[in-house]
């Protein structure tokens, strides 16, 4: 759906990332709403390739012959189109308005600052917040992994060893046995082994390198294409290892687009009008949550619209909720983490914070917004 403001709303309940796992569970015949009409199977492997948007995959299909041979369905990620939100949506089967992980970073009132959910730390500070912000409370929705395990399915989470036990893992991957990996090849081998466990099995496998190279070198660059070729080989190798009766699904958390550093606006410049009346800026360059001081929301909205102009959709948090960007249901906890103002970047633009977020601000590739390059993701499948 295209709103009156001109931006697209994710296809929640029809063809979005949050519809994948309920459909997979239904295909395994252990409950769930088969919104994507997936075929029945005894076993399922869901591989998430971080950063493999559908636009980039289609543009470079010749670099990925095996992926291109798989059945492809077009999905939208949720909003924002970012890893934290997407992993939570995939794992819970609900949009961010319910699971409440509303961005890469979110303003949290108990901390009085933005929290980086990947690190589970306040931005710019080093203390781990798992004791203060208990992951199972921060993200309260039950996971599809829990539901499958409760139904007797052997559930395995195959992801990087450094993520085991982290705040984000506890928040969104509880319910599955965690197996740590060191490389993408390791993930392929381990996922193949785990798929053969039990009478029924469900395996989640994660590989990250395409996202990393997209951030550092830029999406669509020679380095990115070379990495896509490796992803294609990894998926092909995984398919060869899986037992008969397995459904293999490959999807992504978001796509990516290049950031024009010269066009970006730095909110850390001294005296910036983007700071007037602002308590905190959260999110990321392509999708900013702006939290206003009490009584200042209207002035902040006007200032951000004046400075940014038509380079982004600058809307109020209330409009974002009303138009369904975060899904049909928005809990009070999720609403607290949604800005009073949102700046949703159009092509090439971003609001950076070069002092507070020096590393992220310098990256070549970014995501989080609603352009096709960021929002559209594939659901590739093959029955083995």
CA distances from 177 to 24, 246, 322 (A): 18, 19, 38
* Sign, Cα dihedral of 73, 76, 78, 82: positive
Confidence of residue 1 (pLDDT cuts 50, 70, 90): low
Does the pLDDT at position 274 exceed 80? yes
- Residue pLDDT, tens place only, 146-188: 999 999 999 999 999 999 999 999 999 999 999 999 999 999 9
Vertex 214: Cα angle to 193 and 252 (nearest 5): 45
DSSP characters for 141-170?
SPPHHHHHHHTT-EEEEEEEGGGTT-HHHH
Mean pLDDT of the chain: 97
Could you tell me the pTM of the whole model? Answer: 0.97
In this prediction, residue 126 carries a pLDDT of 86
Spatial separation of the C-alpha atoms in residues 34 and 30, rounded to whole Å? 11
Q: How far apart are CA 179 and CA 187, in angstroms?
A: 9
Average confidence (pLDDT) over 30-46: 96
**Span 63-92, mean pLDDT?**
99
* Separation of alpha carbons 343 and 368, rounded Å: 11
pLDDT higher than 90, residue 366: yes
Per-residue pLDDT tens for 193-221?
999 999 999 999 999 999 999 999 999 99
φ, ψ at 163 (rounded to 5°): -90, -10
pLDDT in tens, 116-133: 999 999 998 989 999 999
Q: Does the structure show a pLDDT above 90 at 6?
A: no
Cα separation, 79 vs 167, in Å, equals 21
**Cis preceding-peptide flag for 269 (omega within 30 of 0):** no
Establish how many alpha carbons lie within 13 A of residue 119's alpha carbon, considering only the half-sphere containing its beta carbon: 13
Spatial CA neighbour of 104 closest among 91, 94, 118, 90 = 118
pLDDT of residue 49: 99
Q: H/E element holding 380? A: strand 376-383
What 3-state DSSP class applies to 64? coil
Q: Report d(CA 49, CA 212) in Å as an integer.
A: 11
In a domain, 28, yes or no: yes
In a domain, 82, yes or no: yes
Structure confidence at residue 2 as a pLDDT band (50, 70, 90): low
> Distances from the Cα of 371 to the Cαs of 138, 286, 365, in angstroms?
28, 10, 14
Query: How many of the other CB atoms lie within 10 Å of CB of 327?
Result: 24
**Helix (H), strand (E) at residue 222:** helix 222-241
Above pLDDT 90, what percent of the chain?
A: 97
How many whole angstroms separate alpha carbon 299 and alpha carbon 266?
Answer: 19
Cβ–Cβ < 8 Å for 202, 148 = yes
C-beta of residue 70 within 8 angstroms of C-beta of residue 304: no
Domain assignment present for 346: no
What domain range includes position 34?
Answer: 17-96+141-257+370-383
Whether 215 contacts 164, CB under 8 Å: no
pLDDT (tens digit per residue) in 42-71: 999 999 999 999 999 999 999 999 999 999
Q: What angle do CA 265, 266, 272 make, to 5 degrees?
A: 100
- Structure confidence at residue 79 (pLDDT): 99
Instruction: Answer yes or no: is pLDDT of 4 > 70.
Output: no
**In the structure encoding, which two tokens stand for residue 253, read together?**
């958390």
126 within a domain of the structure (yes/no)? no
**Which band of pLDDT confidence, cut at 50, 70 and 90, is reported for residue 23?**
very high
Q: How far apart are CA 303 and CA 10, in angstroms?
A: 28
Position 73 in a domain: yes
To the nearest 10°, the Cα dihedral for 150, 190, 164, 28?
A: -20
Domain count, the chain: 1
Give the CATH number, domain containing residue 165: 3.40.720.10
Alpha-carbon gap, residue 148 to 23, rounded angstroms: 12
Is 103 within the bounds of a domain? no
Please, which pLDDT band fits residue 140 given cuts at 50, 70 and 90? very high
Q: Is residue 272 part of a domain?
A: no
DSSP helix, strand, coil percent of the chain (3-state; round to 5): 35, 25, 40
Mean pLDDT of 264-280: 97
Which of 353, 375, 333, 340 lies closest to 101, judged by CA?
333
What are the structure tokens assigned to 369, written together? Answer: 């917004």
pLDDT reading at 331 higher than 90 = yes
Angle made by CA atoms 247, 163, 282, in degrees to the nearest 5: 105
Helix (H, G, I), strand (E, B) or coil at 213: helix
Tell me the average pLDDT across 263-292.
98
Residue 23 inside a domain? The answer is yes
Contact predicate 326/334, CB 8 Å: yes
Q: List the one residue out of 183, 196, 186, 231 whose CA is nearest residue 210.
A: 231
């Amino acid at each position: 759906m295209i709103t009156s403001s001109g931006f697209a709303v994710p296809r929640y309940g029809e063809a979005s990332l949050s519809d994948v796992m309920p459909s997979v569970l239904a295909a395994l015949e252990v409950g769930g709403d088969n919104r994507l009409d997936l075929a029945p199977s005894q076993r399922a492997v869901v591989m998430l390739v971080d950063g493999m948007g559908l636009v980039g995959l289609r543009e470079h299909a010749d670099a990925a012959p095996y992926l291109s041979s798989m059945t492809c369905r077009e999905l939208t990620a949720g909003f924002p189109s970012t890893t934290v939100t997407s992993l939570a949506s995939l794992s819970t089967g609900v949009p961010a308005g319910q699971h409440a992980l509303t961005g890469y970073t979110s303003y949290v009132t108990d901390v009085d600052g933005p929290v980086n959910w990947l690190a589970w730390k306040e931005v710019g500070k080093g203390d781990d917040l798992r004791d203060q912000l208990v992951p199972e409370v921060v993200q309260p929705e039950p996971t599809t992994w829990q539901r499958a395990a409760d139904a007797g399915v052997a559930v395995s989470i195959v992801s990087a060893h450094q993520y085991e036990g982290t705040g984000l893992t506890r928040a969104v991957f509880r319910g599955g046995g965690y197996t740590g990996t060191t490389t993408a090849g390791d993930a392929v081998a381990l996922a193949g082994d785990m798929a053969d466990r039990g009478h029924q099995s469900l395996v989640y496998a994660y590989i990250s390198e395409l996202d990393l190279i997209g951030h550092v070198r830029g999406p669509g660059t020679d380095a990115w294409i070379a990495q896509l070729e490796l992803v294609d080989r990894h998926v092909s190798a995984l398919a060869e290892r899986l037992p008969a009766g397995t459904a293999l699904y490959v999807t992504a958390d978001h796509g990516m687009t290049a950031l024009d550093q010269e066009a970006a606006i730095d909110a850390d410049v001294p005296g910036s009008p983007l700071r007037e009346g602002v308590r905190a800026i959260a999110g990321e360059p392509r999708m900013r949550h702006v939290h206003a001081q009490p009584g200042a929301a209207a002035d902040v909205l006007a200032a951000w619209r004046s400075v940014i102009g038509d380079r982004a959709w600058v809307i109020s948090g209330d409009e974002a909720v009303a138009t369904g960007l975060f899904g049909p249901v928005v809990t009070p906890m999720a609403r607290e983490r949604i800005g009073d103002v949102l700046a949703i970047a159009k092509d090439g633009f971003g609001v950076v914070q070069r002092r507070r977020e020096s590393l992220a601000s310098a990256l070549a590739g970014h995501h989080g917004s609603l352009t096709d390059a960021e929002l559209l993701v594939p659901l590739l499948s093959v029955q083995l």
